[in-house]
Structure 1
Amino acid sequence: MTSLPDAKLYIDGVLRGAEGGKTFDVISPWTGEPVGKAADASAADVEAAIAAARRAFDETDWSTNVEKRVALVTKLRALFEANKERLSDLARNEAGAAWGAVGRAHVDMALDGWDDYLKVFPEVRWEKDYGSRHGYGFETVRKAVYEPVGVVGAITPWNVPLYVNVGKVVAALLAGCTLILKPAPNTPGMGAIFGELAKEAGFPPGVINVVFGADPALAGEMLVQDPRVDLISFTGSTGVGKRIMEQGAASLKRVFLELGGKSAKIVLDDAPNFAMEVAQAMLVFHAGQGCAVQSRLLVPKSRYEEAKGILKHAYGSFGDNWGVFDDPKHIMGPVVSKRQMERVLSYIELGKEEGATLLAGGKARPDKGGGYFIEPTCFGDVTNDMRIAQEEIFGPVLVVIPFEDDNDAIRIANESAYGLSGGVSSGDLDRAMNVAKRIRSGSISVNGGMCIAGDLPFGGYKASGVGREWGLEGIEEFLETKLIAWRAA
């Protein structure tokens, strides 16, 4: 097991420890043991970061010098490429990523998304001509200009930390904002590396700041409550997102929230390869720790018993091909922490109490090591009103729900507080598209289409959030609209 370098704060262009030299242990999800140390930021450290970001926005040319921004963001991208091995170590040792998952969502997809931001950036519109209008006896010429919103507080989670950090940091920098990145306590190193490489790239002091600590709330609440921070971009649980909206209201702070999900995959009766579509719904990648995972599988009632049989076989075939740290074929490792393991196991017990039937898994696996291992788990005989069908478990737990017809499938999919993603499979594209259009969700995959990519907007309806990340829209989230009108000569 790799020993990670100490994670340091980055404030006003200086890599440093926390006030008083305080640190906390970074715990490996694979072993349950310390794998590194991180600076434990104090309120004074966070205050210094906010002040630095405010000063860099107000007193330097960062917000107006587009050429400088693009050059430095491009240089920083090259440095991340040169440090891919370290990024892999961080993803595996901090977030518990299996080796086979690193080349997908954890590292490669994150860096591909960075490239997508650079590709779409030239499409950002900085001005819009509204023409002239006659009124009150004279002619007025009107123009909108689009400007960076200011200082951004970027609060990020532990599940795919590099991907989410890139989604916020790169968009904010390209838009001309300065920022304070606050990663989760479980994954401080994947935030600290932004400070280290920004310093190497030559970013002006204060443009990027990185703070983290053992207390998951201290730095985040300071960012949300401070009027010098103009925008909060948060990815995490819906409960915390609601608290951010409440606390940000005092300063009428703009918030972007990418929150939870309980997405449905609907396999219609005419799916050309029904067995494959059902089997591929197994929730195993990164132990199900993704906000957009399709954790509800909806299948026709007429083929429900068939679907349960397919899943029993699929999970049985998957077997013990997971949870080995150095196996490059494995895509599932542990969940991130003891707390998360206990939470997921409590939902599994709840599912049994609610009357659902375990088709596969359901147990902790201490034989895999000292970390936080839970078997791939699947419940049948589930109704959509059960808590395991309505609440985000954020673990390797799939629930299978029957439906009568297309309208019933749409009803079940929409009877959720969430609306982040989903999928539809059918041999009739028009039928699948009709179902997809009626599902209230921010992104829908039809017949396996990739609905999540760095050049596409991503976000949710309802309790899944506010705003969009990635793509052109992801950069525009960090812009303000100013309308200028002048009297024609």
Structure 2
Amino acid sequence: MGSPETATIESADGAERPVDRRMLIDGGLVAAARSFPSLNPATGEVLGYAPDATIYDAERAVAAARRAFDETDWSTNVDLRIRCLEQLHSALVEHRDELGQLTTDEVGATPALLAGAQYDQPVEIVRFYADLLKTVDLTEDLGNIEIRGGLHHRWVEKEAAGVVAAIIAYNYPNQLALAKLAPALAAGCTVILKAAPDTPLVTLALGELIANHTDIPAGVVNVLSGADPEVGAVLTTNADVDAVTFTGSTPTGRRIMAAASDTLKRVFLELGGKSAAIVLDDADFKTAATFSAFSMVTHAGQGCALTSRLLVPRKHHDEIVELIKTNFSFVRYGDPNDPKTYMGPLISEKQRDKVDGMVQRAVAAGATLVTGGEKKGPGYFYTPTLLTNVDPDSEIAQEEVFGPVLAVIAYEDDDDAVRIANNSIYGLSGAIFGGQDRALAMARRIRTGTFSINGGNYFSPDAPFGGYKQSGIGREMGVAGLEEFQERKTFAVPVAGDDK
């Protein structure tokens, strides 16, 4: 792909540092007045420096996106949008090795994750929307209706929602960026994409790819990086932004929703989760334990949809706990470049301290630490952690940990299991193991946006993803993901008298 010419700018500590990637604003790759470091979470060492965007940079990006939407044919030229999405898909495939390595170095993604949700699957989201745009019906005929003696023909046209501010989290930066960017572009929107402060280089590299390898017009896509929360505030409050799509924590999502309310923006939120996996008494316990253990430590537990609560029949509690403990002992963690590594690091020392603090408080509150609960280095590793005797109302059972920590909760019967699973402000995902009919009936009683039955995998570009309750508003991916970025306009014309 080739990085732009290196620029030297002042970093947050006052020293002059080289910028390894640049922001994309109004078609140009630009630096900023200051920079900030991005760390390799597997070593704790500085990986590179990213531009630290200012309020002025954010305002320039918004103005560029507004002009591109209002003054070009991007929002109406479907053929151009298809071509550009196909170009972006090809570029992502062609530069997979480079961007994959950067994702490993900055995010801590293992080879297996790169082949899945850290890279290869997100790339296919772009292809999905390019193909969908070739077949999706952007109009809906409502037919004729007689009103006050006159006949009127009505139809609905789907138009682009406008300028979109897309703000993403650090854990799956390629997935989160492309799940917002691809449908927004397919719908005809223009976008300001803000990288997560912990993983800016990966997202900036996406911006460089767009600038260097696609025909996407200037201003249609703008990519910012920065550590200043005021930059995000510009995106959520600026009157020229029509919609905000955010992935991150529920507390931050609440603040974004409140900030956007002053200008009544469309807001899509993909927030936290505290999903439950239920093991029924007729389940295959070994299968359930394998799924629950290894999914919980995927990407060191840094996934919003992971099932971090395991609900087990009380009479089989000890048997299932022992199976989980054994599976955790098989988890190989360490260098994410090693193909034999299953679990990489947490993103930062701050995140590891947060996880460890929650585990320590859980034990102090009466939970039993069966295994794990240890910091390992160099880098920000935390051993797979299993807690039992967990109170369903306790912090560890109610709050998102975002680390490799599984809380086991015993239940009495099916109704009790459903009650515990629904005892959460969140409603993102869930899983259940047992006889198919019984498991499906229980799954339908649990208020979440996605659900796995006996290990079924729902995650793909054509499947809508999102949550109930405080896990979010709206859906990403699938046809539903396109519709989030569309407005509907209803038309009517009188029908000539001889056509009645």
Distance apart, 1:221 and its partner CA: 1.0
| Residue number in structure 2 paired with 1:412 | 420
5 Å-filtered alignment, 1:212-227, equals 212-215=225-228, 217-227=229-239
* Residue 202 of structure 1, CA deviation: 2.4
How far apart, in 2, do the equivalents of 1:438 and 1:59 lie? 49
Give the C-alpha shift of residue 56 in structure 1: 0.3
Q: Which runs of 4+ in 1 moved over 4 A?
A: none
Q: SS of the residue aligned with 1:152?
A: strand
- Matched residue, 2:261: 249
Give yes or no for the alignment of 1:11 onto 2:15: no
- CA deviations on 1:27-86 (whole Å, 9 max, x unpaired) are 111121211011111111111100000000000000000000000110111011111112
Change (3 A) 1:387 1:34: same
Distance 1:199 1:316 in 2: 46
Does structure 2 retain, via aligned residues, the 8 Å contact 1:297–1:400? yes
Q: Which residue identity lines up with residue 481 of structure 2 in the other structure?
A: G
Residue matched to 2:97: 85
Q: Deviations over 1:214-272 (max 9, x none)?
A: 22x2221101000100000100000011001100000000000000000111111111x
Task: State the Cα distance separating 1:308 from its structure 2 match.
Answer: 1.4
Q: Which runs of 5+ in 1 are unaligned?
A: none
Map 1:390-429 → 2, pairs under 5 A:
390-426=398-434, 428-429=435-436
Q: Say whether the 8 Å CA contact 2:78–2:133 is kept in structure 1.
A: no
Larger deviation: 328-337 or 438-447?
328-337
Contact 1:455 1:470 in 2 (8 A): yes
Q: Helix, strand or coil: the match of 2:202?
A: helix
- Residues 120-269 of structure 1 correspond to what in structure 2 (within 5 A)? 120-200=132-212, 201-215=214-228, 217-269=229-281
Equivalent in the alignment of 2:58: 46
What CA distance in whole angstroms lies between the structure 2 residues aligned with 1:184 and 1:357? 35
Letter in 2 for 1:291: C
For 2:482, give the aligned amino acid: I
1:469 maps to what in 2? 476
* Alignment partners' CA distance in 1, 2:117 and 2:19: 23
Does the 8 A contact of 2:58 with 2:234 survive in 1?
yes
> Match of 2:339?
328
Measure the CA separation in 1 of the matches of 2:137 and 2:392: 44
Q: Tell whether 2:119 aligns with 1:111.
A: no
Q: Is the 8 A contact 2:88 2:126 kept in 1?
A: no
Deviation at 1:335, TM superposition (A): 0.4
1:459 aligns with 2:453: no
| Equivalent in the alignment of 1:365 | 376
Alignment: residue pair count = 477
**2:455 paired residue among 432, 448, 460:** 448
The whole-number CA distance in structure 2 between the counterparts of 1:276 and 1:437 is: 22
More displaced stretch, 100-109 vs 476-485? 100-109
Q: Does residue 288 of the first structure (1) align with residue 288 of the second (2)?
A: no
Give the distance between the partners of 2:404 and 2:251, measured in 1 at CA: 21
Q: Give the conservation status (yes or no) of the 8 Å contact 2:104–2:337.
A: no
**Which of 253-262 and 304-313 deviates more?**
304-313
Aligned AA (1:421) = S
- Could you list the per-position Cα deviations for residues 182-208 of structure 1 after superposition, in whole angstroms to 9, with x for gaps in the alignment? 010111122112221111212211011
Shift of 1:5: 7.4
Which runs of 5 or more residues in structure 2 are unaligned? 4-17
Q: Does the alignment pair 1:74 with 2:86?
A: yes
C-alpha distance in structure 1 between counterparts of 2:71 and 2:235, whole Å: 20
Aligned-partner Cα distance in 2 for 1:54–1:350: 48
Please name the residue that 1:378 is paired with. 386
Which of 100-109 and 452-461 deviates more?
A: 100-109
Q: Which moved more, 1:348-357 or 1:111-120?
A: 111-120
Matched, 1:483 2:483: no
- Scaled by the length of structure 1, the TM-score of the pair is 0.95
Residue 96 (structure 1) aligns with? 108
Is 1:100–1:329's contact at 8 Å kept on the other side of the alignment? no
Is the 8 Å Cα contact of residues 98 and 323 (structure 1) preserved in structure 2?
A: no
CA RMSD of aligned residues (A): 1.4
Distance 2:480 2:68 in 1: 25
Q: How big is each residue's C-alpha offset from its partner over 1:143-192, in whole Å with a ceiling of 9 and x where there is no partner? A: 11110000000000100000110100011001100000001011112211
Q: What TM-score does the superposition give when structure 2 sets the normalisation length?
A: 0.93
1:316: which partner in 2?
329
Q: In the TM superposition, what is the alpha-carbon distance from 1:325 to its structure 2 partner?
A: 3.5
Q: Which residue of 2 aligns with 1:346?
A: 357
Aligned residue for 1:484, secondary structure, equals: strand
Tell me the secondary structure at the aligned position of residue 105 of structure 1: coil
SS for the counterpart of 2:419 is: helix
Q: What amino acid sits opposite 1:457 in the alignment?
A: P
Checking the alignment, whether the CA contact within 8 Å between 2:336 and 2:343 is kept in structure 1 is no
Aligned with 2:165: secondary structure?
A: strand
SS in 1 for 2:166: strand
CA distance in 2: counterparts of 1:435 and 1:113, whole angstroms: 31
Match of 1:63 among 70, 75, 97: 75
The Cα shift of 1:123 comes to 4.3
Counterpart amino acid of residue 337 in structure 1: S
Aligned identity (percent) is 45
Q: Does the aligned pair in 2 maintain the 1:120–1:471 contact within 8 Å?
A: no
Distance in 2 (CA, whole Å) between partners of 1:264 and 1:437 is 14
Answer yes or no: is the 8 Å Cα contact 1:41–1:211 preserved in 2. yes
Partner-residue secondary structure (3-state), 2:198: coil
1:387 aligns with 2:401: no
Cα deviation, residue 135, structure 1: 1.5
Q: Say which SS state the counterpart of residue 89 (structure 1) adopts.
A: helix
